[in-house]
Amino acid sequence: MTIDLVVMGLGHVGLPLARAALSAGLSTAGYDVSAPVVDGLAQGLSHVGGVSHAQVADMLDAGFHATADPAVLDGAQTVVICVPTGLTPEGLPDLSAVENAASVVARRLRSGMLVVLESTSYPGTTEDVVKPLLERGSGLRAGEDFHLAYSPQRIDPGNRTRDVGNTPKVVSGCTALCAKYATAFYGRFVDHLVVARGTREAEMAKLLENTYRYVNIALVDEIALFCHQTGIDVWDVLHCAATKPFGYAPFSPGPGVGGHCIPVDPRYLAARAESQGFSFRMLAAAHQVLTGMPRHVVDRTLSLLGDTRGRVEGARALLLGVTYKADVADLRETPARPVAAGLLAAGVEVSYHDPYADHFTVDDRPLPRVTELRDGLEQADVAILLQDHACYERHALGRARCAVLDTRGKVVGSSVTLL
């Protein structure tokens, strides 16, 4: 039995991709090594913020099924690898999931198949890592017997206007023919395609996109630190600068960066550069600023508690928004963890409020969750707005009995201190 597409890795990238392909009429299946993910999808339950339970049910009605059985690859015309790429404990690129996925595909590879890597990685991954694994495991040749391509994902969790179909997509291939096959595949459900010169250019473009954000967030964070030291209103500075209609892109400071991309992707670029004898000095400087922001939030909080309470031990701090992004249920690499850890180490009692996080742990220690915001604010000595979810109404927070540290420039009130 043939099938148009098998998506490997049904997370924040793979599941929306599968949904977009199904919507365009492609017969689609999903492969994932996680039994809870597979079982949940079979029951119509989504584990991805950008895809609802109802949408998963619609996918099942359209013929989608998820499985942990690699036999699903046997009849695939196209296989897209969307597995995660993270970091080792030493902070180096961890391609084990990509390597494992490529090895699984290699055992099922057949002539004419298109294999696409969407996982973010350093330049050279497609041709230096994935290609040899596929060729050795199958005895087939990329560009001759099968087609190999790279197309970086551009999923933006929580974005209600941009999705897989209407976001321009970069496509590349190991050969011109590989790129042609990849373009034909994505052209069935993506409105606008951009063909890169090669896979290394496409891989580098993805790293540039997120490194650009990484560096600019670090810049405005350091601007915020300077403004705090010199008594300048950083939020007014940012508002004024953002009115320039050319030559300036607005970014906002905060308690640190989170998610799978921004804290991780620049490390892939830096590690690859270092292996080539090149040093990205700007990345090192940005890393120093960004990793220091949670500590800055902790220090500001402790200072507030000292001023308002006289001592920090036994004080009660309420974290508002512990996910890494506004109105998104994703805790990956959230700066709320080092903030909470710093407060706990100082003897502060820490709880949290977040409608998107049922559980939140710090060093395997679960933090108490406050479900009623008003009660939480009444009981806290200080509330820290870490993430500006839509549920946090600025005037209500500004009237809170406790002190409020606002890291997002959203709240007004006499008891509010800005980052």
| CATH number belonging to domain 234-418 | 3.40.50.720
List the structure tokens of 235: 């939020």
pLDDT, one tens digit per residue, over 107-134 is: 999 999 999 999 999 999 999 999 999 9
Q: Where are the domains of the chain?
A: 3-196, 234-418
pLDDT at residue 65 in the model: 96
pTM above 0.85, yes or no: yes
pLDDT, one tens digit per residue, over 253-285 is: 999 999 888 989 999 999 999 999 999 999 999
Nearest Cα residue to 124 out of 202, 185, 63, 238: 202
Lowest average pLDDT, out of 144-148, 310-314, 368-372, goes to 310-314
Would residue 261 show up in a list of annotated catalytic residues for this protein? yes
The residue type found at 124 is G
Spell out the CATH class of 3-196.
Answer: alpha beta
Nearest Cα residue to 316 out of 373, 406, 384, 374: 384
Handedness of CA 309, 313, 315, 321 (dihedral sign): positive
pLDDT, one tens digit per residue, over 60-107 is: 999 999 999 999 999 999 999 999 998 888 888 999 999 999 999 999
Same CATH topology for 3-196 and 234-418?
Answer: yes
Lowest average pLDDT, out of 2-6, 190-194, 413-417, goes to 413-417
Question: Cα 323 vs. chain centroid, distance in angstroms?
Answer: 11
Phi, psi for residue 195 in degrees, rounded to 5: -90, 120
Secondary structure of 308-320 as H, E, C letters = HHCCCCCCEEEEE
- Per-residue pLDDT band for 394 (boundaries 50, 70, 90) equals confident
Q: Where are the beta strands (DSSP E) in 1-62?
A: 3-8, 28-31
Cβ neighbours of residue 167 under 8 Å, at least 6 residues apart? Answer: 154, 156, 190
Handedness of CA 33, 117, 155, 179 (dihedral sign): negative
Buried b (16+ CB within 10 A) or exposed e, 354-391: bebbeebebeeeebeebeebeebbeebbbbbbbbbbee
CA distance 213 to 332: 17
Catalytic residue among 82, 174, 261, 402: 261
Bridge partners for 171 per DSSP:
195
What mean pLDDT value characterizes the chain?
95
